Amino acid sequence: MRRKERVLVTGANGLLGANIISQLIKYGYEAIAMVRRGSNQKSLNGLKCDVFEGSFTSMNDLSEIIPKCEYVIHAAARTKHVPNDWQSFQESNVDGTAMLIAYCKNVAIKRFIYVSSANCFANGSIDSPGDETGKFMQWLKGSGYAWSKYLGQKMVIQEFKRNNFPGLVVAPTFIIGERDARPSSGQLLLYILKNRMVFYPPGGKSFVDADFASNAIVNALTYGRLGHSYLIAGENMTYKDFYLLVKKTYKLRQIHFTIPGPMLKLAGYIGTLIEKVFRISLPLNHVNQRLICLDNYFSGAKAQEELHLKPTDIENSIFKSIKWFDQNGMLT
């Protein structure tokens, strides 16, 4: 009997990583979940996969697990925006990615899928959403996370061009779905679900289903062009409309208020001033403020066509996410 092809997934206990593991199992791969030692693995409950406790920044750990695999999906990254300085992201998101690429080159991995961020591309409007041709927005250098992810995806593309490295980039937008144990993007949902009065910013973004995003990434093991980038986008919605959809889905009785853009802008610049004077990082600075006030919309047309994807309904994504939170006692 032929052995199943093995796929290593870094950051496998995160929202996206756990859903990737689920999709790999569904499509007949042998999934290897790479997680930090002692980390929360609740998101992997019920999934028949091998768990490897280690770090992609450790050459010893890489040498132990990567030679046993045919593919690598690099979904791990430091995502916490506090602190937000560049140095806080460099070791894991840039240096660690470079180490992982170098090792994969040595053992001739079949394909390397780098999970980037939609914010590495220029956004667009509802009528004309951003796509893969959009360049990195220079003002986002002020976000240590966005800048580090851009440098990571740049390394993958350059390695393909210079050394024919079998890598490609997938860049999801804002992910909604089950298995968000820590939680990450689910913090927005939990905020809406747990409060009678909720406040939303004036901007909007692309909300994408976790199953859809993970299916795209697993499909990229077979489809998609090496050296290319693929935006994994869902439904473009204002924050107002998204909040109302959550309210409708969970049948909430609550009041919604918009936060005026000028007020957020002032708060953002005050946050940046405090960061510079007192050398501390705050959840809101002028970069984060600009992001949440932005019409941050993207098109996933290229990925849908080349990675063979079927569109999903974000209302169903919200329902699945809420159900998972409820079943795991996270709504109390």
Residue 81, pLDDT above cutoff 80? no
pLDDT of residue 276: 84
Residue 218, pLDDT above cutoff 70? yes
What pLDDT band is residue 96 in, cutting at 50, 70 and 90? very high
Question: Helix (H) and strand (E) counts for the chain?
Answer: 12, 13
In this structure, what DSSP letter does residue 124 have? Answer: B
Residue 153, pLDDT above cutoff 90? yes
Question: Could you tell me what percent of the chain has a pLDDT over 90?
Answer: 87
Per-domain boundaries in the chain = 6-180+206-235+297-313
Question: What is the dihedral sign for C-alpha 318, 181, 240, 195?
Answer: positive
Q: Taking residues 91-99, what's their average pLDDT?
A: 94
The dihedral over CA atoms of 43, 46, 47, 51, expressed in degrees to the nearest 10, equals 70
Convert the pLDDT of each residue in 14-33 to its tens digit: 999 999 999 999 999 999 99
Which residues, 6 or more positions from 28, have their beta carbon under 8 angstroms from its beta carbon? 4
Question: What is the dihedral sign for C-alpha 179, 233, 114, 167?
Answer: positive
pLDDT of residue 330: 94
pLDDT of residue 223: 97
Convert the pLDDT of each residue in 181-195 to its tens digit: 989 999 999 999 999
pLDDT of residue 275: 84
Q: Which CATH number fits domain 6-180+206-235+297-313: 3.30.420.140, 3.10.105.10, 3.40.640.10, 3.40.50.720?
A: 3.40.50.720
Convert the pLDDT of each residue in 259-280 to its tens digit: 999 999 999 999 989 888 887 7
The lowest-confidence range among 13-27, 123-137, 278-292, 314-328 is: 278-292
Q: Taking residues 213-219, what's their average pLDDT?
A: 98
Convert the pLDDT of each residue in 41-79 to its tens digit: 999 999 999 999 999 999 999 999 999 999 999 999 988
Instruction: Please state, rounded to an integer, the average pLDDT across all residues of the chain.
Output: 94
Beta bridge partners of 71: 7, 111
In this structure, what DSSP letter does residue 205 have? Answer: E
Residue 306, pLDDT above cutoff 80? yes
pLDDT of residue 59: 93
Residue 217, pLDDT above cutoff 80? yes
Q: Taking residues 281-297, what's their average pLDDT?
A: 90
Residue that wins the pLDDT comparison between 3 and 6: 6
> pTM for the complete prediction?
0.96
Q: Taking residues 155-179, what's their average pLDDT?
A: 97
Q: Taking residues 159-174, what's their average pLDDT?
A: 98
Residue 1, pLDDT above cutoff 60? no
Residue that wins the pLDDT comparison between 89 and 219: 219
Residue 86, pLDDT above cutoff 80? no
pLDDT of residue 282: 78
pLDDT of residue 277: 87
What is the enclosing helix (H) or strand (E) of 113? strand 111-115
pLDDT of residue 87: 78
Q: Taking residues 195-207, what's their average pLDDT?
A: 96
Distance, in Å, from the CA atom of 139 to the CA atom of 90, rounded to the nearest integer, reads 18
Contacts 24+ apart (CB under 8 A), 159-167: 159/101, 159/105, 160/226, 160/227, 161/227, 163/105, 165/101, 165/104, 165/105, 165/112, 166/109, 166/110, 166/111, 166/112, 166/226, 167/101, 167/111, 167/112, 167/113, 167/114, 167/226, 167/227
Q: Taking residues 152-158, what's their average pLDDT?
A: 98
pLDDT of residue 2: 62
Question: Could you tell me what percent of the chain has a pLDDT over 70?
Answer: 98
